Structure 1
Amino acid sequence: METPLQNIHKSWKDFLSWKMLFLNLGPVFLGVLFWGVILFHFGGNMVRIIEGFLPTSWDHYAHTNGLLPAMFLLAIKMFTYVLLLLSVLMLSLIGNLFISLFYTPVVICYLHSHDYTNLPLENFGDFMGCIQHFLKQFAYLCMFLVVCAPLYFIPIIGVFVSLIPHYFFFKNTISFDIGSSIYNQETYREVLRDYKVPHHKISIMAYLFSLIPIFNFFATLLQTIILARFFLDIKAQKSNVSQI
């Protein structure tokens, strides 16, 4: 079985192939257009909404005269824009993951035809099942974000608290979408149980691409390739063992 770095190296080559670049044009264009319009028209309002959640005492102190209040006001502005950027990254990933539901079968077929030709593929469920799973995971994400909302305004801690449920939403959604196109349901559950630690390792490495501003609009296709290779490698390994 390939190491995570070997997986990412091969996935990067697949990502830069003409077919995958062309496949990525639609989602990237829609993502950039959507968020460009949103930030251009509502960016100022979004900043004011986030500032409204900050303690009133902070605002009063920041608008008093003096060097320290001025520096504190600057820190508040920077913190607010960090929260706004984090929110945009999260929302863009959610949107990109939803769009990925439509092209994941194409990615799997591409990888299967190039590197896993003799590997029999299975599947369970259907496209509506993937959408239902996506909505279920999205509901869990929203509930967790609401419960933990007061923690977001604690510097550093708030960032990590918000990223944890975001990561699990990413991992559970994209893994189900890919796994349901490669395995039958029973085998998919066995893989999640038997390869829990390697699954987290490769998922975390793939997730980090989502945190790169601008590139996060392109990253979902690369992440899909990385996780698809991971599951296909496991299936190939199991297939070789069963043939011995």
Structure 2
Amino acid sequence: MPWYPGADRRYLTQYWDGGRWLILLTESALRLENTWIALDDIAEVAYWSRTYMSFGTPYYAPRPRVERAFSVTDVHGTVTTLAMNWPGYFDNDEKRVAFSGLVEISRRMIEPRITERILATLHRGEQFTVKDGWAYLSLHRDGMTARTLRTHQAAWSDFYTVDVNPYFNNMDPIELTGQARLWVTRGGKPHLMTGLTTMVPNAVVLGSLLPACARRFGAR
């Protein structure tokens, strides 16, 4: 497999793309291509994997195109993005393995750090907002406000569940679907409150952030 443990214990893991070490991870930093980013300096993270189908003709079969990328923004506003696209009839296994490894790194070592910082922000009485074009999800100590077609509000005690799936392709803002989807309880039944694309910075963090907020603020 292209992912290897660090033999000299300098790196926790590293990814070999056939010609170079494309990704390196230490206890405190991540390298994407030639750029090192301190884990504690990452303010935003985003990743997505979407498959687009073209229309076929009598002479050509439909050809899928995979758009896949991993992006981080540091506290200084510098954005580092590693694209792993594959325009072809079949997906590329090595690019898929590289992407899934970065998702695991994010969930274990990046998103928990961001979650704790956002929780501290909310605890101070400030708000945190994730914007997806004209739609948004805003969090505060008393609950959540989401706008898609209409604006909805919910208390933390109404939180039901959240699902973050960067591979989910059924994107439809009119139906409130997306790769990061939030459900709340209304009248004793779960309802989909909003859905955001994981291309939006920190939408993936909602998977760990929202349950943590419900635990911390829901019993107030």
TM-score by structure 1 length? Answer: 0.27
* More relative contact order, 1 or 2 (CA 8 Å, 6+ apart): 1
Give the structure with the larger strand fraction.
2
Give the structure with the larger helix fraction.
1
TM-score by structure 2 length? Answer: 0.29
